[in-house]
Structure 1
Amino acid sequence: MKINALPANAVQLLRRPEIAGVYQATDDTARTLFQAGPAAGFNVYRIDLGKARNADSLHRILARGLHFPDWYGGNWDALADCLTDMSWNEADGYLLILVHAETLQAADPACFSSLLEVLNETVTAWQTQKISFCCLLTGTHTELPVLGVST
């Protein structure tokens, strides 16, 4: 289901299962959901990818920002494993906000594409457990549906 606008009560929206997905969003939408996340029982992460230029730097930034365990292997399989098993940081749902992802997209399009693939697989994996995983990439990412705040 494609969601084009958020209702005024962002907490209620986050609790709706259909919010799960990977979206492009404005800074305002990301800020609204960032603030609503904890009240919805979500663990919320805001990670700046402005220094991610390739897979190695991306994995280091994500490991630090998501507080991955020491055993994190720094590769795509390990990223998928950690994102789909947040047992060290359990919650009713997860909201991941990635800012400045366009830096990675421009520097290493294949890496960016792999990241989106892992994020979409993560959404699906959590849906099987009836837990919402929502990822917002701020800025313009035309390959992603838009999640916007209604006025």
Structure 2
Amino acid sequence: MLLQSIRPNVVQAIRAYRVEDLQQAAAESGQHFLYAHLADAASKQEVIERIAAAFLFPEHFGKNLDALYDCMTDLVHKSGPQPGFVVVLEHLPDNAKFDRESREQLLDVFREAADYWSDRRVQFRCFYSCQYPAQEAGIWESRTLETTAPLEKPLPKSAANKAGGNPNFGLNMPLMSSAFDTTAWLSAA
């Protein structure tokens, strides 16, 4: 079973998992599956509103991070024993109105919810993916791996001493699109 291989009470990037597999694993283990697709949200307020709509929060939901935490924890806890949660936040935006700081604030709410449920011995796993500007422009799928051009001349030895090692180390290594993409490393070998 997939969930047995994933540490409980965690908030992590979805990377190696497919939404469908997580949904099936939640169903097989009898846990709640909560899913929000957030690609169309442009601001922090819209992200919170879409999560509230997707998770079927009550109409009196305050539409802020504190209210989100309350709905993910205390409100649900008061309704009785819980079997566990698998939460997926897909395509968190990355723009001026929902920047990385806003994303971390949102994820902190889910981290705190994970701690809350951990204290009550209920499994809570939250997975998220982020939408990047290149992805919005359709460049994400067509992006290829490229190696950086070698330096024409090595850096001076004084730079090596300041950096604590070889100043040219790693400069000719190809960029990886993900930690699981070993194609670039194998072709460089």
TM category (shorter chain) comes to 0.7 to 0.9
Matched, 1:99 2:90: yes
Provide Cα deviations, 1:74-108, integer angstroms capped at 9, x if missing partner.
0111011001132559631011111111x2x3342
Instruction: Tell me the TM-score normalized by structure 2.
Output: 0.60
Matching residue of 2:49 = 60
CA displacement at 1:12 relative to structure 2: 3.6
In the TM superposition, 1:20-99 aligns within 5 A as 20-26=9-15, 28-85=17-74, 86=76, 87=78, 91-99=82-90
- Name the CA shift for 1:119/1:11 in 2 (closer, same or farther; >3 Å): closer
Q: Which amino acid in the other structure matches residue 61 of structure 1?
A: R
Higher RCO (CA 8 Å, separation ≥ 6 residues): 1
Q: Which amino acid in the other structure matches residue 56 of structure 1?
A: Q
- Name the CA shift for 1:90/1:47 in 2 (closer, same or farther; >3 Å): farther
CA displacement at 1:21 relative to structure 2: 0.6
Runs of 4+ aligned residues of structure 1 deviating over 2 Å after TM superposition are 11-14, 26-31, 87-91, 138-141
- Name the CA shift for 1:89/1:67 in 2 (closer, same or farther; >3 Å): farther
Instruction: Tell me the TM-score normalized by structure 1.
Output: 0.74
Q: Which has the higher helix share?
A: 1
CA displacement at 1:13 relative to structure 2: 4.0
Q: Which amino acid in the other structure matches residue 15 of structure 2?
A: T
Q: Which runs of 5+ in 1 are unaligned?
A: 1-8
Provide Cα deviations, 1:35-94, integer angstroms capped at 9, x if missing partner.
110111211022101122212101210110111012210011101100113255963101
Q: Which has the higher strand share?
A: 1
Matching residue of 1:129 = 120
3-state DSSP class of the match of 1:114? helix
3-state DSSP class of the match of 2:95? helix
Instruction: Determine the C-alpha separation between the residues in 1 that align with 2:40 and 2:131.
Output: 18
CA displacement at 1:10 relative to structure 2: 1.3
Q: How many residues align?
A: 130
Q: Which runs of 5+ in 2 are unaligned?
A: 133-177, 181-189
Residues 50 and 100 in structure 1, CA contact (< 8 A), matched pair in contact too: yes
